[in-house]
Chain A
Amino acid sequence: MSKNQSKMFWLDIKFAFSLIKKNKLVVLGFIIVLIFIFLAIFGEFLVDPKTPSKIDFKNKLLPPSRDHIFGTDDNGRDIFSLIILGAKYDLFIAVSVISFSILIGIIIGSISGYFGGIVDEIIMRITDIFLAFPGLVLAMAIASVLGRSFTNLMLALIIVWWSSYARVIRGQFISEREKPYVSAAKLLGLSNFRIMFRHILPNTIYPLLILATMDMGGVILTAAGLSFIGLGPSPFEPEWGSLASSGSIYLFQAPWIMFFPGISILLASLGFNLVGDGLRDVLDPRLRR
């Protein structure tokens, strides 16, 4: 990197932060997301990693106290520890569902948008089929067919999610492919593969990044929803949705079992949405230069 270039880069970063700082909500979103990621990575060192299998019926359904600040569940497990340990499951679901969806979306959307014509027609009708169903309902159907497990939950979500990315990327490719730099690249005899992934794709990445961040919250929420209705992982994998689900029968007896996982889900998805909002402001080219 030349000196000039790295200077521009730091100016960019500085400018981005100055924009972010202006919006208090975005800062809040960033803090939430950072805490979430921190817990997902270091959660096992903060609390006892064996908590999910430590069943202790003597201490079941204890309300929040000094020993158990979020109380205990119907198996006598400490909810605070479970939530911290559960963070990694939810982050993992969100990250993998989004990245696989993007990957599939890029491959299909770019082919469709770049070549157009009959290929585009066929691919778009297929995505129409997926988009025609409400996401949650389709995911429910797929998850229940595949059976109850952590991987199947992710699979179901990917199948639901990729089509919207394919759409967005296709749209981006269509608007970019008419630009002179693409014509110039074609003229210079560059291969279609190179033009698609080296030239067009980097110029479509910002809208993709914004959409992905916003969707993280959506995936967490949907995943939690699916495990809440019993299509998620087993109780020994303390994913937040299934934690909340296990508390639903004790809603009046021990509301904290459902309340704290619920709040965690809400905060995490809200955090990603706020960050996505902030990114949109920062990456909006109209605000720059």
Chain B
Amino acid sequence: MEVQNLTKHFPILGGILQRTVGYVYAVNGVNFSINKGETCGLVGESGSGKTTVGKLIVKLLEPTKGKIFFEKNDVTNLKGSDLKLYRRSVQMVFQDPYASLNPRMTVKDMLVEVMRSHKIYEGSEYEYAIKLLERVGMSEEHLYRYPHELSGGQRQRVVIARALCLDPKFIVLDEPTASLDVSVQAQILDLLKELQEKYNYSYLLITHNLAVVKYISKKIIVMYRGIVVEKAETNDLFKEPQHPYTISLLSAIPVPDPTLVRKKIILKGEPPDPIEPIKACPFQDRCPYVMAICKEKSPPEIDLGKGHIVKCWLKA
């Protein structure tokens, strides 16, 4: 999976005639690539455009600009039956499992429905549904349950099972643990890891929680206001974060060790409003090391080696 210069601007409609009066600049020229069997973490705060990137990749949204490649094929403008075929390879797991399951369908109905609509496993849908449930650590007894009869962790397992139904190669995980209790988060992440080892899935993990990325992802991408500000191997990024935003983000994460004394970098100001067009560096208003050039020109991408890329004038 590779994306090039991916851009999405949502038009804002206004006035009586519903004309476009402005844009929400959600994603502004994002580039990255994910190899087979690899996990890539996409990190950012609310409004950073990370979920939009996910939706663009699975084609729930059409990009304004840029291209998406899957297995070397351009999939940016797929339609109709080609799109249906693409969906068998690329799936998405949503943040809130309760909201993404139809409350009026049983687990079995949901799984069988997907198989039927793609005409796969014809005649053995029931057996395959049980197999899928077992694959995500559940069993036959859950087949006839409704979403509200399952615990949060089980619901997320059903969502994963449903995504696996079509035997995809690439899965976008949008905050897979955000709505779960701490005591079961690790279970779900372990399950995802295990499935990846067995079936060689590729993941794009979208999250605001850096600890989740650290646990299951080799590579990490940090986004700020629709722009990739830093890209690196996860371990390198945690050891030596380069972009001032990444540094403050890491320092702001609370650590459950009361003996640890850390210096917090507290950013001033608010995250920028995404309806303002981007001028030069998007982080200039909150950056503690802001320089004159940051307000004039967009920073270049600096390659620090080992795939560690940072977009900042400080490193230029």
B-binding residues in A (CB < 8 A): 1-2, 4-5, 8, 179-181, 183-191, 194, 198-199, 202-203, 289
Contact = CB atoms under 8 A, between A and B. Distances in A.
A189 B100 contact: no
A190 B102 contact: no
Contacts of B100: 180-181, 183-184
B91 A187 contact: yes
A202 B105 CA distance: 10
Contacts, number: 67
Q: Which of A179, A181, A185, A190 has the most CB of B within 10 A?
A: A181
24 contacts: A2-B145, A4-B145, A5-B144, A179-B99, A180-B96, A181-B103, A183-B60, A183-B94, A184-B100, A184-B101, A184-B159, A185-B102, A186-B60, A187-B58, A187-B87, A187-B91, A188-B114, A189-B87, A189-B166, A190-B113, A190-B117, A198-B113, A199-B102, A199-B105
Interface residues of B, number: 31
Contacts of B114: 188-190
Nearest to A1: B144
B100 to A, nearest CB: 4
B79 interface: no
Contacts of A8: 149
B84 A203 contact: no
Contacts of B145: 2, 4-5
Contact of A187 (B92, B95, B96, B103): B92
Contacts of B166: 188-189
B239 interface: no
A181 B88 contact: no
A175 to B, nearest CB: 13
Contact of A181 (B92, B101, B118): B101
A242 B180 CA distance: 63
A187 B60 contact: yes
B144 to A, nearest CB: 4
B165 interface: yes
